[in-house]
Structure 1
Amino acid sequence: MIEVKQLTKRYGGTTAVDDLSFTVRPGRVTGFLGPNGAGKTTTLSILVGLSKPTRGTATIDGVPFGTHPRGLRYVGALLDARDAHGGRTGQDHLVALARSNGLGRSRVRQVLEEVGLADVAARRVGNYSLGMKQRLGIAAALLGDPPVLLFDEPLNGLDPEGVRWVRELFHQLAHEGRTVLISSHLMSEMEHTAIDLVVIGQGRLIAAETLAEFAARGRIPSVTVRTPDPTALTAALAEAGAKVTTQADGALSVQQMSAGDIGNLAFAKFIPLHELSPRVSSLEEAFMKMTGDSIEYRAGRKQ
């Protein structure tokens, strides 16, 4: 189990993590989300002992990572797929890690097979694609068969088959009772992968709850309506108190009125309908709504 309590990290006058507290439990995949600059990577670095907190604690099974002499047996982490030395082969990279953690060569062969790199294990890492480096990083995380696993943007560079494989791997690891924490900016993948979410912005906690609970808090129900007479329907809906916007393809997006009420109103006004589709917001939309005040950089729009 991962426990972060009142964690604060400052770099000079900049506060990267600000009084952050959350718990990640075993047997579940937890997504770690936040805008760029939210403090996700800093938090993960503190968890694996690469950075010291200014205040507070970040522990794994009740103790700091640094207290474990052979850390890969307790925590596996992929923080940057480019960390492996480009002049080494993939196999040599893993063998060096295995030796430093008291693990045998047979385990290296096992994880290379598991991540699909056995056939290219003798190739230098510098010649690997980004997707292959991601697989090598995942192999390193799995090397010690640890109960706790941390992954920072593990899907970068993976093709669709690789994304599906990683998703299934995370589910399998959680099913085995391990603690799995994934930092990612790919909301669509988190919808298919995570059960719980920890969401932060500007170093502070925004939410720590199930994915379903988070999506429900940010949900904006609406109904997509298509009609050959949008002007008349828009006027009727506005008069009834609904909020109506016209989409780029000409469909109407209606809020504050149910699909049934819209259908009844259109029938009463003799306005034909070609589509009447209730819709709920995606995780991405909920995320943008809940973290809108925490975005560090915003792109400008041409006028």
Structure 2
Amino acid sequence: MIEVNQLTKRYGDKTAVRELSFTVRPGHVTGFLGPNGAGKTTTLRMLLGLIEPTSGTATISGHSFRRHPRGLHHVGALLDAGDVHGGRSARAHLRALARSNRIPARRVDEVLAEAGLGGAAAGRRVGGYSLGMKQRLGIATALLGDPPVLLFDEPLNGLDPEGVLWVRQLFRKLAAEGRTVLVSSHLMSEMENTADELIVIGRGELIAAESLAEFSARGTAPTVTVRTPDAGALASALSAEGAAVVPYDKETLKVTGIGSDRIGEIAFEHHVLLRELSTQAASLEAAFMELTADSVEYLAGDPR
């Protein structure tokens, strides 16, 4: 289990993380989300003892990571897939880590095969790897000690569709085994397919710590698209029922506050022909954009 309590990190007059508290429990894939500059990587680095907090605590299985002897047995992490000596082969890189952490040598080939880097790929120099292959090696490194806790920072960078599917299935398998899995990512669509729980931060502060379904539901209510040749009459009838109706074009209405079943009934009661009746459910991306809008540090200019 991961526990963060009142964690704060300041760099001079800039506060990267401010009094952040959350818990990540085993048995779930937990997404760690936030806009660029929100403090996600700083938080992960404090969890791993790479940065000293200004105040507060960040513990893994009840202890600071620095107190875990032979850390790869306790925590596996991928922070930067490119942070590997390019002159070494993947096998040599993992063998060195295995020796220093007293991990059986057979485990090296096991994780390389699991990551799709077995055979000739294992003997190639890492400097000749593509970004996707480096990501796979980083994940293999995290798995090396068979740890109960795993941290991943943007693990999908550079992966092809097959690789993305493999990672998605891997994370779910690890969680099903009772491990604690924390994944930092900017890919909302992937988190929607992978995460069970979410930790969302902005400007170093906690915005939400709840299930994926709960967070998505905090965004804009589902919208029903209605297309009809008699949009004016239907808009009046729906408004009378308390719905919020916004004309989209001459024949299309966007309706909130009332479900598609009831809209169909009202149209039938008023003899209005429907050509389309579809619901756009609340999405993680929509909720994320709404709830982090005030926390975005870097805004793009108007493309016009």
What TM-score results when the alignment is normalised by the length of structure 1? 0.94
| 2:231–2:250 Cα contact (<8 Å) kept | no
Distance 1:250 1:117, change over 3 A: farther
Q: What secondary structure does 1:121 align onto?
A: helix
Partner of 2:132: 131
Matching of residues 21-32 of structure 1 within 5 Å: 21-32=21-32
RMSD: 1.9
Distance 1:78 1:100, change over 3 A: same
| 1:17–1:42 Cα contact (<8 Å) kept | yes
Partner of 1:77: 77
Partner of 1:4: 4
Q: Distance between the aligned counterparts of 1:88 and 1:212, measured in 2?
A: 44
Q: Distance between the aligned counterparts of 1:271 and 1:89, measured in 2?
A: 69
How much has 1:48 moved relative to structure 2?
0.6
Write the letter of the residue equivalent to 1:225.
Answer: V
- Residue by residue, what CA displacement relative to the aligned partner does 1:177-218 show, whole Å, maximum 9, x if unpaired? 111100011111111211111111110011111111112222
How much has 1:261 moved relative to structure 2?
3.8
Which stretch of structure 1 is more off in the superposition, 231-240 or 147-156?
A: 231-240
Distance 1:100 1:279, change over 3 A: same
Distance 1:298 1:246, change over 3 A: farther
How much has 1:122 moved relative to structure 2?
1.0
- Residue by residue, what CA displacement relative to the aligned partner does 1:224-271 show, whole Å, maximum 9, x if unpaired? 112234455446545665433455897432112332443344334443
Write the letter of the residue equivalent to 2:2.
Answer: I
Distance 1:275 1:17, change over 3 A: same
Distance 1:249 1:174, change over 3 A: farther
Distance 1:248 1:70, change over 3 A: farther
Write the letter of the residue equivalent to 2:72.
Answer: L
Which stretch of structure 1 is more off in the superposition, 168-177 or 237-246?
A: 237-246
Partner of 2:141: 140
Partner of 1:115: 115
Which stretch of structure 1 is more off in the superposition, 218-227 or 205-214?
A: 218-227
Partner of 1:92: 92
Distance 1:268 1:196, change over 3 A: same
Write the letter of the residue equivalent to 1:70.
Answer: R
Matching of residues 59-74 of structure 1 within 5 Å: 59-74=59-74
Partner of 1:160: 161
Q: Distance between the aligned counterparts of 2:71 and 2:231, measured in 1?
A: 63
What TM-score results when the alignment is normalised by the length of structure 2? 0.93
Partner of 2:101: 101
Q: Distance between the aligned counterparts of 1:135 and 1:248, measured in 2?
A: 48
| 2:219–2:283 Cα contact (<8 Å) kept | no
Gaps of 5+ in 2: none
Q: Distance between the aligned counterparts of 2:130 and 2:250, measured in 1?
A: 39
Distance 1:250 1:173, change over 3 A: farther
Distance 1:173 1:266, change over 3 A: same
Q: Distance between the aligned counterparts of 2:187 and 2:253, measured in 1?
A: 28
Partner of 2:204: 203
Partner of 2:175: 174
| 1:27–1:176 Cα contact (<8 Å) kept | yes
| 1:219–1:280 Cα contact (<8 Å) kept | no
Q: What secondary structure does 1:154 align onto?
A: coil
Which stretch of structure 1 is more off in the superposition, 197-206 or 216-225?
A: 216-225
Q: What secondary structure does 1:42 align onto?
A: helix
Q: Distance between the aligned counterparts of 2:265 and 2:20, measured in 1?
A: 49
Distance 1:148 1:254, change over 3 A: same
Q: Distance between the aligned counterparts of 1:140 and 1:251, measured in 2?
A: 53
Distance 1:282 1:48, change over 3 A: same
Q: Identity of counterpart residues, as a percentage?
A: 66
Aligned residues: 303
Write the letter of the residue equivalent to 2:8.
Answer: T
- Residue by residue, what CA displacement relative to the aligned partner does 1:144-184 show, whole Å, maximum 9, x if unpaired? 11110000011111111111111111111111111110001
Partner of 1:16: 16
Write the letter of the residue equivalent to 1:74.
Answer: H
Which stretch of structure 1 is more off in the superposition, 132-141 or 208-217?
A: 208-217
Write the letter of the residue equivalent to 1:100.
Answer: S
Q: Distance between the aligned counterparts of 2:294 and 2:139, measured in 1?
A: 33
